[in-house]
Amino acid sequence: MEPNWAAEHLQVIRTLMERSAVYRRALAPIMTFNGLLGTTAAVVGWARQIEGRNFITYWVVVGFIAVAGSFGLVRRQAIKESEPFWSPPTRRITQALLPALIAGLIIGLLVLFKGSSAPADLHPVISMLWLPLSWVILYGCAVHAAGFFMPRGMKVFGWVFILGGCGLLALGIPDSVTRLAYAHGIMGGFFGLLHLAYGVYLYFTEPRRNET
């Protein structure tokens, strides 16, 4: 059993190295899709004044849409390349992402269902300050973990989330910004604009990589 596991592990590493360019191309539409989704969701959430428990439910739903859309784009890329969708590399990347993403979901659900037990003046602060930045930091950890099986830029991308989330957590909500605008701004900035910027970068740098 052990030799089989080692052989499979080595094969996964070899496959990831051989197909790094393919995975890099697959990241561009995924990042762009999530960037557009996150930015649009933030604008809609702020415009419709979605806050409190509705804020949590809203962004959890957006998160599920993002995950489903990402896997759909991966599946389309796999079909285009005549490769199996649920391949060993895909399983490894999914396993790397899951712990931090599940932790973020659980924290959101705990605040959603247990937040009513907190003082009335504390619950809005939890949902509008701690929760969005907790999601940002945990997402950064998930991306960094997946970066061990993907192009190295993903590790840097993960660190941007981790350090950015920790930095904003230390600063708190500026007095000149409302809780609602701050919360949706955090979600739109990290999960929207950052993804969109990375997707555009991948699109514009890929042709030059192919030429070399």
Top-confidence residue, 132 or 205: 132
Task: Name residues whose C-beta falls within 8 Å of residue 187's C-beta, 6 or more positions apart in sequence.
Answer: 38, 41, 42, 45, 59, 132, 135
Rounded CA separation 21/209 (Å): 9
Note whether 212 and 21 are within 8 A (CB): no
Rounded CA separation 94/157 (Å): 17
Rounded CA separation 165/153 (Å): 18
Top-confidence residue, 186 or 74: 186
Sign of the C-alpha dihedral computed for residues 156, 186, 28 and 208 taken in this order: negative
Cα–Cα distance list, 60 to 67, 85, 129 (Å):
11, 25, 16
Give pLDDT tens digits for 94-139. Answer: 899 999 999 999 999 988 888 655 655 556 666 778 899 999 999 9
Residue 161: CB atoms within 10 Å: 23
Provide mean pLDDT across the span 78-103: 82
Give the phi and the psi of residue 54 in degrees, each rounded to 5: -65, -30
Provide mean pLDDT across the span 146-158: 84
When the pLDDT of each residue in the chain is averaged and rounded to a whole number, the result is: 83
Sign of the C-alpha dihedral computed for residues 187, 102, 70 and 54 taken in this order: negative
Q: What is the reported pLDDT for 181?
A: 93
In the chain, where are the structural domains located?
25-211
